[in-house]
């Protein structure tokens, strides 16, 4: 073997030895990240902060590696109770479950102003025309059902004169509305904008008739007790994402233009509009006042026919969110 070949082999070996420690270091660093699971329910601005926290490394800064699992709202509660996931994002469904006795808590609130609008087929121009019609909701006990009921009550429409059809996520109810399977449905940003631009009608705004926690984080009491540091770290990472959304409009608008949000082909058309709407309702504290907590509990208890509504601490636990809000810069 000549000297040139030997020299080349030595250089290749040296290069490999130089790279290996970095590769091994990266693998070791990744192995130290604690995995956890979040069950999310929509590709909307309400789940956007969690994806941004992942993409910008805020979870990794906390030593965490998230796994996101898409589920129907009711499945998030079932998965939490079964120990399959650590967090859910379907706050309305979790509140109903807790009022009905499930040992779950809302630990972080992304908004106290529902972004859902009641959108109808073009021939229906008012809530009064929904008598004898079908409204698509995500699931019994979900926020979509609660808001739809409150809109009907506010407009003096007897609940037994309207059929609520549980169909799944807003992606599915939007398709059902376009197919004519239902006459109206609750749609949130950005689908409500798209629907109106396509000729469907916004006949009521959820925020006009009802205050509610929409979006956030839910956990079982067992996981809260077992992993209190996990709750703190995930909430802190989420706060960082919310701060980034508010302070870096350029980045947030580009994210909205990306593949996560369900906006069809007209991403450039809706991106800034969606951003402005989102920053208007996304929380700065991650908590809501006790008055709103009690109102939501009473509303759920009445719908579920629960004899005695539970105390707020049986449904909400904002202790982690309050501590993080006080310390985060």
pLDDT by residue (tens digit) across 40-95?
A: 988 888 899 999 999 999 999 999 999 999 998 889 999 999 999 999 999 999 99
**pTM (2 d.p.):** 0.81
Please indicate whether the domains covering 34-113+213-262+283-327 and 117-209 agree at the CATH topology level. yes
Taking alpha carbons only, the member of 64, 119, 329, 86 closest to residue 221 is: 86
* Of the listed ranges 22-36, 101-115, 214-228, the one predicted with least confidence: 22-36
Residue spans per domain, the chain = 34-113+213-262+283-327, 117-209
Can you count the helices (H) and strands (E) in the chain? Answer: 15, 10
Q: Cβ(262)–Cβ(69) under 8 Å?
A: no
Q: Rounded to a whole number, what is the distance in angstroms from the first to the last CA of the chain? A: 63
Residue whose pair of structure tokens reads 């202790």 in the numeric block: 319
Residue 256 scores a pLDDT above 70: yes
Give the mean model confidence (pLDDT) for residues 132-145: 91
The DSSP secondary-structure symbol of 129 reads G
Residues belonging to the chain? 329
Q: Cα angle at 39 between 45 and 182, to 5 degrees?
A: 65
> What is the dotted CATH code of the domain comprising 34-113+213-262+283-327?
3.40.190.10
For residue 31, the model assigns a pLDDT of 58
151 strand-pairing partners = none
- How far is the C-alpha of 69 from the C-alpha of 274, rounded, in Å? 24
Give the SS3 label for residue 173: helix
CATH fold of the domain at 117-209: D-Maltodextrin-Binding Protein; domain 2 (3.40.190)
Concatenated DSSP letters of 209-262: H-----SEEEEEHHHHHH-HHHHHHHHHHHHHHHHHHHH-HHHHHHHHHSSSS-
Q: Cβ(302)–Cβ(308) under 8 Å?
A: no
């Amino acid at each position: 073997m000549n000297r040139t070949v030997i020299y080349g082999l030595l250089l290749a070996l040296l290069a490999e030895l130089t790279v290996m420690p970095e590769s091994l270091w990266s693998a070791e660093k990744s192995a130290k990240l604690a995995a956890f699971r979040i069950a999310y329910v929509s590709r909307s601005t309400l789940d956007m902060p969690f994806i941004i926290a992942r993409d910008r490394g805020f979870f990794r800064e906390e030593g965490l590696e998230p796994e996101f699992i898409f589920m129907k709202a009711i499945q998030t509660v079932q998965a939490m109770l079964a120990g399959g996931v650590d967090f859910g994002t379907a706050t309305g469904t979790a509140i109903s479950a807790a009022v009905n006795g499930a040992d779950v808590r809302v630990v972080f609130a992304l908004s106290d102003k529902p972004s859902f609008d009641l959108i109808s087929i073009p021939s229906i121009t008012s809530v009064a025309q929904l008598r004898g019609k079908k409204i698509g909701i995500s699931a019994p006990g979900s926020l979509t059902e609660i808001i739809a009921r409150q809109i009907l009550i506010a407009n003096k429409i007897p609940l037994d004169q309207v059929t609520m059809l549980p169909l799944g996520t807003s992606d599915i109810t939007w398709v059902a509305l376009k197919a004519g399977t239902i006459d109206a449905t609750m749609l949130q940003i950005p689908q409500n904008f798209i629907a109106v631009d396509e000729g469907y009608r916004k006949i009521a705004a959820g925020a006009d008739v009802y205050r509610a926690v929409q979006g956030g984080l839910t956990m079982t009491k067992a996981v809260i007790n077992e992993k209190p540091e996990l709750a703190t770290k995930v909430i802190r990472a989420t706060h960082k994402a919310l701060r980034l959304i508010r302070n870096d409009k350029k980045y947030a608008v580009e994210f909205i233009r990306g593949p996560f949000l369900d906006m069809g082909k007209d991403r450039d058309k809706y991106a800034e509009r969606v951003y402005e709407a989102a920053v208007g309702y996304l929380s700065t504290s991650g908590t809501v006042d006790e008055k709103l907590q009690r109102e939501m509990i009473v509303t759920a208890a009445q719908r579920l026919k629960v004899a005695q509504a539970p105390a707020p601490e049986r449904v909400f636990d904002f202790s982690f969110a309050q501590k993080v809000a006080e310390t985060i810069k």
